[in-house]
Amino acid sequence: MRKIDMADQIWARLLAMRGGRTGVTAAEESDPIVALYGPIASASGSFVLAQVGQSLDGRVATPAGDARDISGPDGIAHLHRCRALVEAVIVGVGTVKADNPRLSVRAVKGPNPVRVVVDCRAQLTGDEKLFHDGGAPVILIQGHDAPPISYAAEVLRVRRTEQGLDPQAMLDALSERGLNRILVEGGARTIARFIDAGLVDRLHVAIAPLIIGSGPAGISLPPIDQLSSAHRPPARVYSLGSDILFDCELRQAASSAGMNGQKIRMADHA
């Protein structure tokens, strides 16, 4: 297992790589820190990272919705590094309603990403913390037929179908605003829709040593009968310290299997 022990110098180097401004040198390629974060930082076109922080038993919250402090301090630092390396972080409206998050970079030094909330039916009231905390800009993505409500945020309208909003249409709308390196941070339903659409390049699953016992899972797929039908993306395993991280290459797995994302199907209740 590779160990992630971040030093200020290599972190500064990764921040300098953002958006492909400088590439990874041959000498850096064997460094586990560069192997983990380099592809996120140096992506010059569209790049989608999905991240789940979960317990040993695969839960991301209690049944009552408490999701704070699942990840240990090194898992939190990892999440904040990912936020600092992308241009925008996406969460679903369920996460904002449950956690009222700031979605900022606090555990490490680095820039704050633009905050994007998928709120198809305009369920947010406008009173939520992220609209008023003076942090990075907020973009709301709503269905074309969502009721008009005034927010301290830019509102993007995307055509709503029976399946909801097309994740590719969301990425296109963000790309038009220069936002191409994206972190999909949760919750399970939002991540599921991006994976289902075959749009996730990397999936990070950070596992912390606690057992919650019941509660929602970070990823939910339709049942399979045989383990031979399970998805087995190429993965590297890293010790973050307090948490263990699986870095899965989803896009490569889908295309090498000729799936183009179509076979990675999420359950309707995901």
Binding site for ligand NAP (CB under 6 A): 52-53, 60-61, 65, 67, 70, 91-95, 98-99, 118, 120-121, 123, 164-165, 167, 185-190, 193, 216
Q: Write down the residue that tokens 């390196």 correspond to.
A: 181
Cβ closest to ligand NAP, residue 193 vs residue 251: 193
Cβ closest to ligand NAP, residue 42 vs residue 113: 113
Q: How far is the CB of 233 from ligand NAP (least distance, A)?
A: 18
Amino acid in position 222: P
Q: What is the dihedral of CA 128, 129, 131, 134, to 10 degrees?
A: 170
Structure tokens at 267: 């359950």
Contact 212, 55 (CB under 8 A): yes
**What is the sign of the dihedral through the CA atoms of 28, 29, 35 and 40?**
positive
Task: Report the alpha-carbon distance of residue 14 to residue 74 in Å, rounded.
Answer: 18
Longest alpha-carbon distance in the chain = 54
Cβ closest to ligand NAP, residue 84 vs residue 98: 98
Report which residue's Cβ sits closest to ligand NAP: 187
Contact 114, 91 (CB under 8 A): no
Residue 157, SS3 per DSSP: strand
Cβ closest to ligand NAP, residue 87 vs residue 243: 243
Cβ closest to ligand NAP, residue 135 vs residue 164: 164
Q: How far is the CB of 212 from ligand NAP (least distance, A)?
A: 11
Q: How far is the CB of 157 from ligand NAP (least distance, A)?
A: 12
Q: How far is the CB of 159 from ligand NAP (least distance, A)?
A: 11
Q: What share of the chain is helix, strand, coil (3-state, %, to 5)?
A: 30, 20, 50
Q: How far is the CB of 8 from ligand NAP (least distance, A)?
A: 26
Q: How far is the CB of 42 from ligand NAP (least distance, A)?
A: 24
Q: Are strands 164-165 and 160-161 parallel, antiparallel or unpaired?
A: antiparallel
Cβ closest to ligand NAP, residue 145 vs residue 154: 145
